Structure 1
Amino acid sequence: MNAAPALLGYAAAVGILAPRLMTRDNWTHRAPALAVTVWLTLAGSFSLCLALGALHLATPHAHLHGVIYTCRVALGIDSPSSAVPDYAGHAAAGTVAAALVTAFALCVRRARAIRSRHRRVLDLVGRPSAELRATVLEHAAPVAYCLPGHRPRIVVSTGAVTLLSGKQLDAVLEHERAHVVGRHHLVLAAVEAFAAVFRRLPLAAVMRRHVPLLLEMVADDRALRGAERDVLATAMYEMAAAAVPEGALGAGGQSVVVRLQRILAPARSTNLTARACIVASALLVALLPVLVVCPPALVPGVDLTLLPR
């Protein structure tokens, strides 16, 4: 039995139906870090299904255990005497992986170039502050953002330093440090790469809209570890209109209204049981394609060399 129909059908379900389930309830706002993980898991599962589906579609004679057998031959466990490599199938699967890796590399490279140019400008017009652990920029408007990457830098304007209280400024800077420590720029690059490869896929479009907001919520939660809710909310309100340069991540922006509502009127947090169910479901979604393709490997005593290839 060829696995291509099952794999491609499963990919269609993940790519079309999963976004509707993810956005049906506001649990993602209650557990934003977990939600980001689930979004990335769905994207990975879809990509895996598509690659394996393309492999089996290009290899009509392949059976469900074909991938495991190929791995066993490569490791020297089985004899390849009767195994004829099917280059078309491997090329089809490799194309999916190569497209995603290339798109991710291009997104990272482009963002790195933009941030490098911005850092050179900051070296000329900004001044480092050891007290704030940030670069202070002479600007009347209250602005704070970070330039993540190999040489991360947090930038705050003199307008923000003047306008915000000490606690408010600390909360904003902690928000920016959360972006840097969490390497959120790489998550955004992965999302952009997936959306670039699968432009018309609902999963890619919805994930591209939701993940940036969820990452801001993750940074908000990090800032709330050392600040009161009204302190962070006031600081965010004061900086709501701040424009963030391209390639940077900032506390202000268009998502402030939703985040303010979340901070000032927090919903009941997702309980441990619900989190466990979400994690189990995400793992099942990720592993199911492998289980579909390789069921004989899970049956004790089955010799894959005896199965038809």
Structure 2
Amino acid sequence: MMVLLSWLQVVIILFAAGAVVGAGLVAIGVSSWVERLNLVTPRARFMMLSALALLPAALGSIVVMVSFLPSVLDALGLAADHCSYHSHHTFHLCFIHGTPPPISPLILTGCAAFIVWIFAGWKSEFAGVRRAGAWNKQLKRLGHYDAEIDGWMIASERPIAVAIGLIRPKFCISRRLRELLSARQLEAVIAHEKAHIRRYDALVKLGIRLGAKFHFSPIRTQLLGHIDLACEQACDEAAADAIGDRLTVAEAIVAMKRACDAEPSPALALGFGIHSLEERVRGMLDGNWRRPNWLPILATCGVAACALILFHDALHHAFETLTFLAF
């Protein structure tokens, strides 16, 4: 048990160190990156912003992987005894041949605080999922499936247009909204909600929110806000393509915004027309998006992956030295 705790504190320290470096890199460049990404097509912007949101978690995982991959490969019989190649090291990051550092009460307390902080944030996210699930059940009790719109029609006096559900998403439209909007505007709203369903936006955004917990709080809030806007604009673009009329989509956004109550919907219920009115309408009317050049992005990722593979041994040794110094 004590050995397990010793290795656990090492894993948490390595992960936290990588996550802090990733969060710091994003914090340094987030303003300029977001400003440039605002010119990019919403779908591509959503992907890039999501990558930034997940960078600390990804970098922390890479640090842990590089640190312990040799011993895992050795245990699986896929690689020779790695530790014999650098027996001069005082400390080995190896579950098989290495001896974990002694448990430090101070470090172990810090690790416990880190875990509690992460799980407290995740608990609040899953509490939102439960609240959304209860709200979804209430909506379905008020409505029925309508083959004409291929969705759920809700008997409500509130103007509702929302995509609900994580694994099997569906959309709901209220009768009141059907009365308020023209046939073409309603078609735009339905196309927008169907885009959320095709993209599994509620499920994807939940994963992003969980992964983004490792950012500094102000940066996390800023990134998630831009991700929400990119998500809505991507579905606006899909709706415009579906009905072939950008102006009607813009009109539907304004009409829905005017009709909405002040009462907010659960975070996972992606309501049409209740977020970032000005940016979304401008995006529909201007539509002057720039398509990203994926070649340099993919090339950079490829170079980084090759460097990681080529220099993983040197990185492994460096992490061993740094971990030894930490204790």
Residues paired across the two proteins, number: 278
Matches within 5 A, 1:101-140: 106=123, 109-140=126-157
CA-CA distance at 1:232 after TM superposition: 0.9
The amino acid across from 1:73 in the alignment is D
Residues 41 and 286 of structure 1 are in contact (CA less than 8 Å); yes or no, is this contact kept in structure 2? no
Aligned: 1:19 with 2:36: no
Picking from 85, 97, 103, the partner of 2:98 is 85
CA-CA distance at 1:289 after TM superposition: 8.2
Aligned: 1:144 with 2:146: no
Residue 70 of structure 2 aligns with which residue?
A: 69
Residues 178 and 223 of structure 1 are in contact (CA less than 8 Å); yes or no, is this contact kept in structure 2? yes
Residues 19 and 214 of structure 2 are in contact (CA less than 8 Å); yes or no, is this contact kept in structure 1? no
CA distance in 2, matches of 1:292, 1:40: 27
Picking from 237, 245, 253, the partner of 2:265 is 245
Residue 303 of structure 1 aligns with which residue?
A: none
Cα 1:235–1:44 change in 2 (3 A) is closer
Deviates more, 1:217-226 or 1:239-248: 239-248
The amino acid across from 1:294 in the alignment is H
Picking from 221, 232, 237, the partner of 1:216 is 232
Unaligned runs of 5+ in 2: 1-13, 85-93, 316-327
Residue 6 of structure 2 aligns with which residue?
A: none
SS at match of 1:17: helix
Q: TM-score, normalised by structure 1?
A: 0.73
Q: TM-score, normalised by structure 2?
A: 0.69
CA-CA distance at 1:23 after TM superposition: 1.5
The amino acid across from 1:276 in the alignment is L
CA distance in 1, matches of 2:112, 2:44: 30
CA distance in 2, matches of 1:66, 1:15: 23
Residue 300 of structure 1 aligns with which residue?
A: none
CA distance in 2, matches of 1:19, 1:114: 32
Residues 213 and 255 of structure 1 are in contact (CA less than 8 Å); yes or no, is this contact kept in structure 2? yes
CA distance in 1, matches of 2:43, 2:100: 40
Matches within 5 A, 1:171-210: 171-200=188-217, 202=219, 204-210=220-226
Aligned: 1:275 with 2:294: yes
Cα 1:14–1:137 change in 2 (3 A) is same
Cα 1:10–1:179 change in 2 (3 A) is same
The amino acid across from 1:69 in the alignment is P
CA-CA distance at 1:137 after TM superposition: 2.3
Residues 43-71 of structure 1 show CA distances to partners (whole Å, capped at 9, x for unaligned) of 43322333555x59xxxxxxxx7544224
CA-CA distance at 1:210 after TM superposition: 0.7
Residues 193 and 272 of structure 2 are in contact (CA less than 8 Å); yes or no, is this contact kept in structure 1? yes
CA-CA distance at 1:107 after TM superposition: 6.0
SS at match of 1:30: coil
CA distance in 2, matches of 1:288, 1:97: 32
SS at match of 1:231: helix
Residues 142 and 238 of structure 1 are in contact (CA less than 8 Å); yes or no, is this contact kept in structure 2? no
Residue 290 of structure 1 aligns with which residue?
A: 308
Cα 1:186–1:69 change in 2 (3 A) is same
Residues 108 and 186 of structure 1 are in contact (CA less than 8 Å); yes or no, is this contact kept in structure 2? no
CA-CA distance at 1:201 after TM superposition: 6.1
Picking from 11, 30, 42, the partner of 1:32 is 42
Residue 305 of structure 1 aligns with which residue?
A: none
Residues 124-157 of structure 1 show CA distances to partners (whole Å, capped at 9, x for unaligned) of 3223312112222233443311113234231112
CA-CA distance at 1:99 after TM superposition: 7.9
RMSD: 3.9
Picking from 155, 160, 172, the partner of 2:172 is 155
CA distance in 2, matches of 1:147, 1:285: 40
Residues 57 and 214 of structure 2 are in contact (CA less than 8 Å); yes or no, is this contact kept in structure 1? no
CA-CA distance at 1:122 after TM superposition: 2.2
CA distance in 2, matches of 1:105, 1:141: 31
CA-CA distance at 1:177 after TM superposition: 1.2
CA distance in 2, matches of 1:78, 1:8: 30
CA-CA distance at 1:86 after TM superposition: 5.2
- Whichever structure has more helix as a proportion of its residues is 2
SS at match of 2:236: helix
Cα 1:193–1:14 change in 2 (3 A) is same
CA distance in 2, matches of 1:188, 1:75: 35
Aligned: 1:165 with 2:182: yes
Cα 1:108–1:102 change in 2 (3 A) is same
Residues 104 and 190 of structure 1 are in contact (CA less than 8 Å); yes or no, is this contact kept in structure 2? no
Unaligned runs of 5+ in 1: 57-64, 298-309
